[in-house]
Amino acid sequence: QGDTRSLVGRTELWLESQRPALPAPAVQLVDQIGLQLDALGQQLDGLDEAAPAAREVRKLVGEHLPGLVSTYTSIPRHLRGEASGGATPDQRLTESLGKISGEIDSVTRQLASGAIDNLAIQTRYLDYKYGGALDDAAKVD
């Protein structure tokens, strides 16, 4: 519910509250994801809610991440360290959180690419418009 930025903030708070139920390697990833969500939330200012990137963020942060953690926490503690199908639930959670972290990084980079391109364009324009004045000003500072 609500806009994508508030969803990211609520998910970050919810994820923080889940830390005590998670294994140590997953807690490290949750800390990393928390930092990523902070950065992502800032980038969502002014993003059209109907944009594909906003839909992707809502699905990733509002469905996949909470669903993964909720499924893990529904497993009784004494079974989380037992291997089943080649890996323990602890290992699977950690691996999946790593994938989510990578995807959050990818979305953040996609959103930032427009701003990075705009900055390059503005820099080229100013260099064209004012020539070496920018280089001279940088030397004075």
C-alpha–C-alpha distance, residues 8 and 58, integer Å: 8
Q: Give the tokens for residue 66.
A: 């909470």
Q: What sign results for the dihedral spanned by CA atoms 75, 79, 83, 84?
A: negative
Hey, what are 138's tokens? 């940088």
Write out the chain's pLDDT in tens, 141 residues: 578 999 999 999 999 999 999 999 999 999 999 999 999 988 888 788 888 888 999 999 999 999 999 999 999 999 999 999 999 999 999 999 999 999 999 999 888 877 778 888 888 888 888 876 555 556 655
* Separation between Cα atoms, residue 106 and residue 89, nearest integer Å: 26
Given its phi and psi angles, is residue 21 left (phi above 0), alpha (psi -120 to 50 degrees) or beta? alpha
